[in-house]
Structure formats: C-alpha cells, structure tokens
Amino acid sequence: MTVKGKRKYFYFKGVTKSEAARMLRVRLNQRDDGSLPRGKDLTVAAWMRHWVKTADLTPRTRYVYDRTVEAYVVPGIGHIRLSELEPEDLEEFYAAFQAGAFSHLTLNKATNKRERKAPGSHALRNVHANIRAALNVAVKRRRVARNVALAVELPRAEHAEMRTMSTTDARRVIAAAMERPDAARWYLALVYGLRPSELLGLEASHLDRGAGVVRVRQQLARVVGEGMRILPYTKTDAGRRDIPVPEAVIKLIDRAIERRMQMRLEYGARYVEWENDGEPTSLLFTQDDGTPIDSNVHRRAWRELLASVGVPAERPYIGRHTAASVMIEMGMDIAVVSSILGHKKTSFTYDTYVHPMMDAKKSAADALASAYGL
C-alpha cells in the first residue's frame, strides 16, 4: 500500500489469503486514521532488549530487568513481531510460565542441594509489568497501535506467609546485640525495620543529632559488573524518609562511628578508604578493614547473632517484618508505621501486616464476644 506517496510492503507469514486480506485492511485503516505503526517491525525480543538498555533505570534495576527479559520473555515470546503480538500470545505465555516451563535450578539452603524450582506468581507479575511498560513506550513511539498487555488479566497473586519473630525472641536478640560494637545496626533493623540495603548504606552524615533523626537516603548493593555501589533513592520514592530516634539510639550510632575510627587506627595502611564513583564515603557499618558489608556478609552475621541466643536461623528481612508487627501490636497509627517503614502506600502496610495478624484478630473477636455477654 502507499503511505505518504511511498509504497510500503507488509509480509504476513503462515496465513491464508483471506487472513492476509483482513490484516491488510487493518493496516489500511491504521493508515487512514493515523495510527499506522512507524519504523522497522522489530521482534518482541529486540524491542524488550532496547527498552531495558535505554529506560531510565538504576544499574541494579536494569540488571534485574535484563535477567527477567532474557530468562523468560525472549524464550517465551521473543520471536513474535511487535505488530503481530496479541493478548492471546501473552495468555499462552503466562500459562506456560505457571505450568513450570521456565523452571530453573536453585540452591536449597536447608539441604545445601540444587533443586529445580518454577518461578512463582510474583515473578510472573514482574514479567507482565516489564512487558506492559515496554509496550507503553512502543505505543508512544508509534511502533504499535495498542498495548496488548492491558487486555490481559493476571491470576490473583499468591501471598507468601509473612513470618515474624516473637516479641520475646526479638528482645533476646536485641539484648545480645547490645553487647556488640555494631549494636546500632541490629537495633535499627529490629526496632525500626530498615531494609538491609538501607542499613548498610547509612553514612555518618545521615545522623542529624540536632533534629534527633536518622535520614534514610540511599541503599548499598552489589551491581553485577560494577561491584558494590551506593544507589540513591529518587526524590519521589517513599524510601527517602526521616526516622526520629531517641538519645539512646544516637549513642548506639556514635558507638559504631567510634568503632570505625578505632579500626582505622588499628589497620593503618591496610585500612580501605572506600569510595563510591570516586567520592569518599563515611559508611556507618563496614567490615573491620573498612570495606563495605555486602548482603552475604550481613546475612552470615545476622544468623550468627540469632544462633548466639538460640533463635532459629531466619533471613535478615524477618527483622523488618518483626518491627512492623510490633509497632502495630503497640497500637501505633498505621500511617506512622507506613512512614517509618518507607512504604509508598498505607494500604500496602495494612494489607501486609494487619490482615495476616490472626492472633490479634482472634483476641479482638473474643473481646467483642465478652462485650456482648457471650
């Protein structure tokens, strides 16, 4: 057909003559109403790779998205042309995903053996979010006429059981941590629910003694190919927050600073003055030689702390869940809890930490029965 005086060809492979005629009519209608896709008709794989490469993402997020695209999208629907992608293609892809077509070997930490595991509903939702975002850009650039991902409904997400430590165990862990030079690290994790990456990214300048707050502004994470990096939160991210702390907590943080200064003197020339992108840093919590603490080192130290008081091994994130649950059980306003945790929406805090609290709900039910004389 002719577009702006130039002949444009379309090739429809593997279709009958009547189907080709129907598809051509669609293209003619798009030409007439100005919605005809522009540019080369890329495959889904080519477009997704381009989107990941050029989107405004942090290095860590780009790495995660790239893995998602290469592990699932490319082998699943990567061969399909953007112009030919239909909602049914996505539905078939997602069905195969749920059926375990993209299972992979993973390490079972309990048995220390590699086992084949299929990705769960959370992974599927991430895949769908990536496809939807990439197709939104394709629509804006007139690569495609519509975002077919918007016509696909995902199955309801399976919520994993939220695990927390008992208040008694949490107190025991904190009591043991108080005997350590990095007590502030564990206190901030268990009482205020800082994420591990936030804890390890705290710097001395983030403590405002005058205001009595700890300012959470960044994360420390390992970026593949780049090593340890400080990743700042965006200005609109709820992760940027000020957490009020009492004088006792400020003293704990001062202890961590003093510990770091002591290690600098003891190690002398062997001490590592770590820099991020060429800029000096003053991380609150480091290894003894000044190097940053990565997630594996942090996890081992956490489990050793739990073991020292006979608490079963749990991942560090249970500290965040425990902090949230304790704050809610104390009767703190849900908006305050959400702000301390750095959640974007109060509804997320409620759904995650209030809804599952069966013990609290049972107590409330018993109290109601008693109030009505039952």
pLDDT tens digits, 148-203: 999 998 876 665 567 889 889 999 999 999 999 899 999 999 999 999 999 999 99
Domains assigned to the chain: 1-36 (no CATH), 37-151 (1.10.150.130), 167-365 (1.10.443.10)
Q: What is the mean pLDDT of residues 204-221?
A: 94
pLDDT in tens, 266-298: 999 999 999 998 899 999 999 999 999 999 999
Residue 210: band (very low, low, confident or very high) from pLDDT cuts 50, 70, 90 = very high
Segment 242-249 shows an average pLDDT of 95
- Mind spelling out the 3-state secondary structure of the chain? CEECCEECCCCCCCCCHHHHHHHHHHHHHHHHHCCCCCCCCCEHHHHHHHHHHHCCCCHHHHHHHHHHHHHHHHHHHCCCEHHHCCHHHHHHHHHHHHCCCCCEEEEECCCCEEEEECCCHHHHHHHHHHHHHHHHHHHHCCCCCCCHHHHCCCCCCCCCCCCCCCHHHHHHHHHHHCCCCCHHHHHHHHHCCCCHHHHHHCEHHHEECCCCEEEECEEEEEECCCEEEEEECCCCCCCCEEEECCHHHHHHHHHHHHHHHHHHHHHHHHCCCCEECCEECCECCECCCCCECCHHHHHHHHHHHHHHCCCCCCCCCHHHHHHHHHHHHCCCCHHHHHHHHCCCCHHHHHHHHHCCCHHHHHHHHHHHHHHCCC
166 or 365, higher pLDDT: 166
Question: By the 8 A CB rule, do 265 and 257 touch?
Answer: no
pLDDT mean over 38-47: 83
Question: What pLDDT, on a 0 to 100 scale, did the predictor assign at position 3?
Answer: 46
pLDDT at 35: 54
